[in-house]
Amino acid sequence: MELSVNAARTDHPLYRRFGTLLIANRGEIACRVIRTARAMGIRTVAIYSEADRDALHVAMADDAVLLGQAHARDSYLNIDRIIEAAQKTGAEAIHPGYGFLSENAEFARRCAQAGIVFVGPTADMMEAMGSKSGSKALMERAGVPLVPGYHGEAQDDATLTEAADKIGFPILVKASAGGGGRGMRVVRTAEELAPAIVSAKREAKAAFGDDRMLIEKYVDNPRHIEVQIIGDSHGNLLSLFERECTLQRRHQKVIEEAPSPTLNPAQREAVCASARKAAAAVSYVGAGTIEFVSDGRDVFFIEMNTRLQVEHPVTELITGVDLVELQLRVAFGEKLPMTQDQLVLNGHAIEARVYAENPNKNFMPSVGRIKTWRTPPEADGLRIDAGYREGDTVSPNYDAMLAKVIAWAPTRDVAIDRLNRGLEETDVRGIVTNIPFLSALVTHPQVRANAIDTGFIERELAALTTQRAAFSDLELAACIAAIVQSERVTARTIIGSPWQTAGWMMAGTRQRSFVFREEMQEHKVTLRYGRGSSVLVVDGREIAFDHASGETGDIHVTLDGVQSRVTGVVGRHEVYVRTRNGRFEVHWVDPFGMEDEEQSGADRVVAPLPGTVVALLVEEGATVEKGAAIVTLEVMKMEQTLRAPFAGKVIRLKCKVGDIVQEGVELAEIEPAQP
Ligand code: ADP
């Protein structure tokens, strides 16, 4: 047992019991915190921006306060408005989540000044640990192993160059204030140093308003290992084992697991002891993470994060501890309810971050309305922390992480299999996600063998983003089964569905033809009903076909005697199916000629893609020429101006600046001029 007994404080001025908690965040972490707070009987207050009016975290909280425009500086980063919201709703405490203001010492200080409990460390602790150079100096004194490097005050070129030469290339130039991998450059030769410093400084200045740099030895083929710690205001400090987050893209974590499959028990105890030493150096209060890089043998401190991390659930699953509950209890001023030796490592957990992005298009973010959101049940070791649900809109204003899929099992192999199954059984339509990429990643043989380093994803990108399987008979059958099943449901409520009215008796055989367009190909298929059995006719081949609805919305398709469980969702003209071969989205060319041209926008001012309205260029009532600029939309970070399809009068503007609009939505109504 190891409980460091620093000056035991019973009546801490900053930590005390509260009954109402404001969560200064959005998305999955806001939902995650609300869940535990509610279970503890605490009233919750959400804050939100214009873009998040209908967001899940707002719906989940007991009260919610609109802070302002979508832009984070007007909402989730606006300290004045957040404190005011707490005061208005009687919130006595604020949980900052991660990102946004979670590591902002000024925010912690302002909360304290307003008499609000900040669920986290004190502003002083944050300041001591917040800068990478400051914390390294502190760790050096505390005897925590560091990567060889320079973290001094002097920032002139000569000092930095001399430091780099002394350390020896390759080196890493890093912004002291850095985060999210920004302001960081690997430098392999002396000639590359000067330009790397200039560009890292420029990036750091823009991102953090602080361009101080430190230099570290670049650990080749490194692994990322970090230790979860938590301290209370009575001087007790616990480490909750380590996580391995080596699978990264551009220095950002993609997959995280606990415990690290790389460390043996002696190494595990050593890194946890170093982490406790690091946190004890500032008498740390709250949840925090001590991050290390490892060359496979030794670990070196790189930084501390003074907040809850995205990947905290893997630690929860192997320890059975609810870290948010512990955070809240520490903020109450309570003592930690367990000792170090009561914490037992059980099994293995692994997490994948689900993003709205397209790995096949250089991970470009995807925005818009989530038309389908179906995740498998949270059973058999599966946990899903989501910040979105069906019908929600993914806004271009914030980080594109939608959810985390997390799996626990007694062993790492089974945990990976469970995670992959959780990913495979997730259906999302309307936006593009990285789910197929995550599946390819977790099932990669080198990931399973733990033969990885932080450069693995970049090197294997081509293999991880390969094109999906060809559209086969099974997918055709799944599409048809999904359509017929959905029409059965509709037919019960709507009389005269096309199925009933559009006559499909042909030459004595009942049959129906379908045409699907997928990528550049057209697939034609005929469904022919016989006595008691049906066949699909594909390119002249006849294949015995049957289908039945299964539980939980699945469909059982029987094709040539083999039954398969598939999932299908039928939109107006799109059909989504998921089979054992993967996910497919096809356009259903409607045989009844119901393709509606209404959304084509040829004679209307319509959003061509989901986007944000950034400017209105005319006023209601204005007379416009054909081609006059009406609205500017920001679509995927690019501006696009929509113009009048004909000369006329602007009857109505149907949007305002800041609105997030869906594809196909009319933005302005124009009455044609009389000829
Ligand atoms: P940030 O705060 O921007 O996330 P970190 O200092 O935490 O920056 O580093 C992010 C990632 O960069 C680490 O997880 C690791 O993969 C890599 N990294 C950091 N320092 C080193 C180093 N000295 N050698 C090799 N890789 C490193």
pLDDT confidence tier of residue 598, bands split at 50, 70 and 90? very low
In this structure, are residues 437 and 430 in contact, taking their beta carbons and an 8 Å threshold?
Answer: no
Residues in CB range of 606: below 8 A, 6 or more apart: 599, 642, 664, 665, 666, 667
List the domains of the chain with CATH numbers: 20-127 (3.40.50.20), 148-217 (3.30.1490.20), 223-466 (3.30.470.20), 473-588 (3.30.700.30), 605-672 (2.40.50.100)
Residue 547, CA distances (Å) to 380, 398, 533, 550, 560 in order? 28, 42, 10, 9, 12
Mean pLDDT taken over the chain: 90
pLDDT digits (tens, 9 = 90+) for 398-454: 999 999 999 999 999 999 999 999 999 999 999 999 999 999 999 999 999 999 999
Residue 257, CA distances (Å) to 240, 241, 300, 439 in order? 13, 11, 19, 15
Report the atom number in ligand 1 closest to the C-alpha of 217: 23
CA of 254 to the centre of ligand 1 (A): 14
pLDDT digits (tens, 9 = 90+) for 358-399: 999 899 999 999 999 999 999 999 999 999 999 999 999 999
The two tokens of residue 414 are: 């089974």
For residues 313 and 316, give the distance between their C-alpha atoms in angstroms, rounded to a whole number: 5
For residues 45 and 21, give the distance between their C-alpha atoms in angstroms, rounded to a whole number: 6
Catalytic residue among 307, 383, 418, 578: 307
How many CA atoms does the CB half-sphere of 347 hold within 13 Å?
Answer: 18
| Substitution candidate for ligand 1 out of 147, 302, 310 with most atoms within 8 A of CB | 302
CA of 251 to the centre of ligand 1 (A): 6
pLDDT digits (tens, 9 = 90+) for 208-240: 888 999 999 999 999 999 999 999 999 999 999
Model confidence at 662: pLDDT above 50: yes
Can you give the pLDDT at residue 350?
Answer: 98
Report the atom number in ligand 1 closest to the C-alpha of 251: 11
pLDDT digits (tens, 9 = 90+) for 305-361: 999 999 999 999 999 999 999 999 999 999 999 999 999 999 999 999 999 999 998
Can you give the pLDDT at residue 5?
Answer: 40
Measure the CA angle with vertex 587, ends 358 and 514; round to 5°.
150
* Global pTM exceeds 0.95: no
Can you give the pLDDT at residue 505?
Answer: 43
Can you give the pLDDT at residue 364?
Answer: 92
pLDDT digits (tens, 9 = 90+) for 129-140: 988 888 999 999
CA of 188 to the centre of ligand 1 (A): 16
